[in-house]
Amino acid sequence: MSVHQGPPAADTVDGERVADDHAPVSERGQGAFKPGTRDAHQRRIERAVALIEQSIVRGEEPPELSRLAEAASFSPFHFHRVYRAMTGETTGQTVARLRLLQGLRLLASVERTVTDAALAVGYQTPQAFSRAFRQSVGGTPSELRAEPERLWREIDRLSSPPQPAASEPLPPLRVEVVSVDPFQVVALRVTGAYAEKNGGYHRLFDWAAERGLLDSLRGLYGVPWDDRRDVPPQACAFDCVLALEAGFDLDPGGGLRMMRLGGGRYARVRHVGAFDGLEALTDALLARWLPDSGESLRDAPLHHEYLDDPDEVPQALLRTDIYLPLA
């Protein structure tokens, strides 16, 4: 199945219309550092971390994601991605790490029993507390308490998110700030791994073929609602999206719906390669480019535009544009 290369609506960079495949590259944030913006983003994320830690110290349930997003002054649409990109872990992983950290601090006091420490940091039983310790620090709470030097080493280690494994330096990001006119699309929500996504697009193409709409295909898009690295594959929600030139009507009860994409400014970056590299590039966009750009995020989901057909183009050459909505 062929895929139109280019958005169906006006696409501009800094106010000037450009051809999609020959767009000038704007590296805002690369060498255009705005003092204080990166630190400001970091402080906003630290406010969310502080809320999590305070709740654990008090023996309370961690705040809901919406409360954390509000504390960090980030849109709920993007908070979980910004948080992961900036910290290297999900909020759930932060909760687990800080629970263990507080448990270790309590164990450092001889006045606390293992059971007291377990219940104080939110574990239902001492056995669950011990299992978490074995998995994270390779020993039981009692063993750690008997080795004070080891206990304090683990306290120091768990005080910060785990450092990522060393890897090759990422190349400079080639980011364009573009304006995209709103355009109507037909979408199908699927939940699951790659096979379900692929099946969703086949359903959309079959629907379009039955109505003679394939010749009016203007683009293939996707809206990832979850991060595949953090959500079990069977629970990942994703919108498969087709953009069509021709008008269309939807049959009720078929699972398809009309929606609009575009309608504002976006940071656009191109990924070349397998689809499983999209999350890492999104992390780089959020953690490396956004804090230094002076831009802020808009309350709208990010989306992908798939420029090549994976049935015809080698995986290593597949082009996908990531669109991050800007205020």
More reliable by pLDDT, 263 or 168 = 263
Choose among 244, 176, 236: nearest CA to 214.
244
Mean pLDDT of 271-298: 93
Confidence (pLDDT) at 231: 87
Region 76-95: what's the mean pLDDT? Answer: 92
pLDDT of residue 275: 92
Q: What is the pTM of this model?
A: 0.82
Instruction: Name residue 187's beta-bridge partners.
Output: 241, 257
> Among 5-14, 247-256, 291-300, 302-311, which is the least confidently predicted range?
5-14
8 Å CB contact between 174 and 270: yes
Q: Which of 7-11, 96-100, 232-236 has the lowest mean pLDDT?
A: 7-11
* Most confident of the following: 12-26, 155-169, 238-252, 297-311: 297-311
Task: Read off the pLDDT of residues 33-72 as tens digits, 9 standing for 90 and up.
Answer: 344 677 888 999 999 999 999 999 998 999 999 999 999 9
Average pLDDT of the chain?
Answer: 86
What residues have CB less than 8 Å from 251, skipping those under 6 apart?
none
* pLDDT band (50, 70, 90) for residue 21: very low
For the ranges 87-101, 247-261, 309-323, the lowest mean pLDDT is seen at 247-261
pLDDT score recorded for residue 165: 64
Q: What is the pLDDT of residues 112-140, one digit of tens each?
A: 899 999 999 989 898 999 999 899 988 89
pLDDT of 111: 81
Closest CA to 87 of 160, 195, 188, 157: 160
Q: Choose between 33 and 254: higher pLDDT.
A: 254
Per residue in 204-233, pLDDT (tens digit) is 999 999 999 999 999 999 999 998 888 888
Query: What confidence category does residue 193 fall into, taking pLDDT thresholds of 50, 70 and 90?
Result: confident
The pairing of beta strand 175-180 with beta strand 264-272: antiparallel
Q: What is the pLDDT of residue 267?
A: 98
Predicted pLDDT of residue 150: 93
High-pLDDT (> 90) share of the chain, %:
66
Q: Are 158 and 100 in contact (CB under 8 A)?
A: yes
- How do residues 140-173 score in pLDDT, each as one tens digit? 998 988 999 999 999 999 999 887 665 566 678 9
Indicate if the pLDDT at residue 3 is higher than 70. Answer: no
Rounded to whole angstroms, what are the CA distances from 161 to 24, 68, 87, 261? 38, 17, 7, 35
- Residue 4: pLDDT band (50, 70, 90) is very low
Measured between alpha carbons, how far is residue 142 from residues 45, 112, 114, 138, 257 in Å?
34, 12, 7, 12, 57
Is residue 20 pLDDT above 50, yes or no?
Answer: no
What is the rounded average pLDDT of the residues 219-248? 92
pLDDT at residue 22 greater than cutoff 80: no
Secondary structure of residue 294 in the 3-state scheme: coil
* pLDDT above 80 (res 183): yes
